[in-house]
Structure 1
């Protein structure tokens, strides 16, 4: 009993820690998208832990800045009844309702399903009474780039294929980032770059048996690593759709930066040898 209790505690701690860092990455990407910037280089090496334990992104050399003609302005989608974390099939069945001013890619529009579909009727009945407030959407989904940029293990399929990509690549890299946080490896890594790229295009996503990862985390990773960018979670509703996933249940997004981080780097000081160009003052290291 003690063994299983310890395992459960470790799993829960891993989930809480990963959820915290993933939450801050989501907010950071949302802010960049609001500014019309597609980051395109999310990976652990570019996520720095500050002295207060919160994270910040660095290295914007590969970022894509959208101009006013291709960027979608931030908007608020009216409140609607929906589940915090619908599975992929439900996303395809019931796409989000956009207003007249909304801007989505034509090839991402999914045909509506007949209102006589029994699955849809059951879904709406199950959602009755579950009200969610308006969603803030800031996603430059109109921007397109043909550039082949990024780290091989984190490249989205649309970059590898050379068909052009938009801001959905950031949500793909978020899925790879989450996978690596949980398992310590990336899901499509091969013996060399060519094999890695081939795996990204053709190999199905598989989860290792160890360590044990919560089902909600696997579901989120699966939705983010949809090879078709039009079906990828976040491709139309941006960070708002990701925030509502059950993996992030309990996260106070409004006060996220006020949340106590799971790890705060210890500060230690070291006396610096003084000379004419370096004053004798202690320096803080993290």
Structure 2
């Protein structure tokens, strides 16, 4: 018996030792797995940085956007620009530069004229081994193409890659003032082609303005179009497509159905007519001349054949697009007066503000890690928004506080003054109202209506994506805000979920007018401004933009509300711009056909063809089938039950906002006096 007990005891001890060994092995395996997982994440991060495409061919659902969108402020163009002396380039150098441009994600979208301009204006710079060309964290104003030599790219001390002949780097700097994300150091003696932002932007802008004026002049010589005003002619230009023909290509054929109008930009067109079975030459047409105008207003057959004599470039507009753009029966655009009468009837003039700065006190967090600190509702590139109340706690306000020194440094004085002017003059249920404005030696303050429901951005982040009734309601509120602003000749230019707030009833209000601009319909502006994911192609191309950019961004907004991320997104801005210029929209399977339709019509690359920017203006947006269940009158007078109400949480007045730590830094004083009239 004792012997058996001893054997059992030994077996148990042996089993215990085996179990201990297995546990040790498991722990070891777990550690090794964790280490592999960490290495895999590091490798993925490096792959992302190097821009290596995914090997998977599967369709993946768009990733939910987790961070706030960065914004780019408009930078004034210089009054006069000293352009460096043009550097003559031999054929091999020109070829190298053109190849470099063509293989670059962003620059490859430039047209032939812009590419030729780049080649012409690139200057040369030389660097010795170990010289820094770009330093991580500094602000950049030049792009570079490697002409000869080798450079190393490092980030936070880690080597990412090397650059050799024909490689392009720093190209974002020619669009806007951006912070460099890596250091580029010469490994050998290096020769670079370089261009500064102000040179690029001024030349592109001037070329675009000149081209537009020229096209306007061409259209004014048309007998059919001579009754149209500049606003309408400008719309036609925005709707025209550039088409190229090779030698002997037939552009229009005699006897065929007429469906397009053409303006010749480059080359010669031969006009011939069939006479007794032979083609008889009638005349030659050159730059600025046009043909096919009768096709726009009459059902006619072509009366002659027009063929390309050598390479030809034309601008063309087809009948269907023209009819969408210009109402033939009554030459009147943006006639929203009837639709807006009801909304205006309900507007009341706001009484003069009696708020005093000294009566405002900060609201403090009542619980959590920031308990006792002042409540911050939002933080942006241009300041903070804090929750304040009056001494007797009668009402809550959102107070925007911006450093005057920062405004001057970023040359945003005009934008800040204009934002105050707009908000002061605005009385619209879909735009946040301004109660008072103050200033001291360090800051300017704007005391605005407090929207208790928080940002649409925060709600979207919480739920991932909105169902269609919620997305449709939010968009309808923006449509009404747009109708109000556009009628007052104001472009908004910074639409995104971060700039949409929910009031207590769940209605959406537009906030932050720092990038808006007052403009006459038919004019163009050439500033590079907005949020990358929401920028229209004509802003990126510096072609001049107008109210059409607001409809492009509305299409992007609908997509992001329904999907959780914008249609054109990437961690790298130049890839975002490349995707926007490609204009390929990929819709997830759950999105309805009506939603796809309205998005694709708003995100048309040609501004004159966008829904909302054709002859019926914003009425076409309201009448789209995606809004078939919307009662616009009830929305305007606030009689609809907002489906967004279920997104608003109950609790302290700040519960629907992200929480931000207290900012204890104090801005420097600023005495230039730009805010004299603020």
Instruction: Give the TM-score range, shorter chain.
Output: 0.5 to 0.7
Moved over 2 A (4+): 263-269, 283-286
Map residues 81-230 of structure 1 onto 2, 5 A cutoff: 140=521, 142-209=522-589, 212-230=590-608
Give 1:241's match in structure 2, choosing from 602, 620, 626: 620
8 Å contact 1:171–1:234 — kept in the other structure? yes
Q: Deviations over 1:47-98 (max 9, x none)?
A: 01111210100010000112xxx2xxxxxxxxxxxxxxxxxxxxxxxxxxxx
In the alignment, structure 1 segments of 5+ residues that lack a partner are: 1-12, 71-139, 270-282
1:268 aligned partner:
651
TM-score by length of 2: 0.27
Q: Which residue in the other structure is 1:103 paired with?
A: none
How far apart are 1:208 and its partner, in Å?
2.6
Structure 1 residue aligned with 2:469: 16
Alpha carbons of structure 1 residues 146 and 284: separation in structure 2 relative to 1, 3 Å: closer
Contact 1:30 1:238 in 2 (8 A): no
Check if 1:61 corresponds to 2:514.
yes
Contact kept? 1:143, 1:167, Cα under 8 Å: no
CA drift at 1:191: 3.6
Tell me by how many angstroms 1:203 deviates: 4.0
1:238 to partner: Cα distance? 2.4
CA distance in 2, matches of 1:235, 1:263: 28
Query: How many residues get paired?
Result: 186
Please tell me whether the aligned partners of residues 533 and 569 of structure 2 are also in contact (alpha carbons under 8 angstroms).
yes
Unaligned runs of 5+ in 2: 1-465, 657-678
TM (normalized to structure 1)? 0.62
Distance 1:190 1:284 in 2: 32
Distance 1:263 1:17 in 2: 6
Q: Note the C-alpha offset of 1:284.
A: 7.1
| Distance apart, 1:250 and its partner CA | 2.0
Whichever structure has more strand as a proportion of its residues is 2
Distance 1:185 1:38 in 2: 24
1:223 is paired with a residue whose SS is helix
Q: Which has the bigger relative contact order, CA under 8 A and spacing at least 6?
A: 1
- The 5-angstrom pairing of residues 71-82 of structure 1 reads none
Cα RMSD between the aligned structures? 1.6
User: Would the aligned equivalents of 1:62 and 1:149 in 2 still touch at CA under 8 Å?
Assistant: yes
Distance change >3 Å, CA 203–CA 190, structure 1 → 2: farther
Displacement of 1:285 after TM fit? 5.3
User: 1:239: Cα distance to partner?
Assistant: 1.5
After TM superposition, give the deviation of residue 17 of structure 1 in Å.
1.2
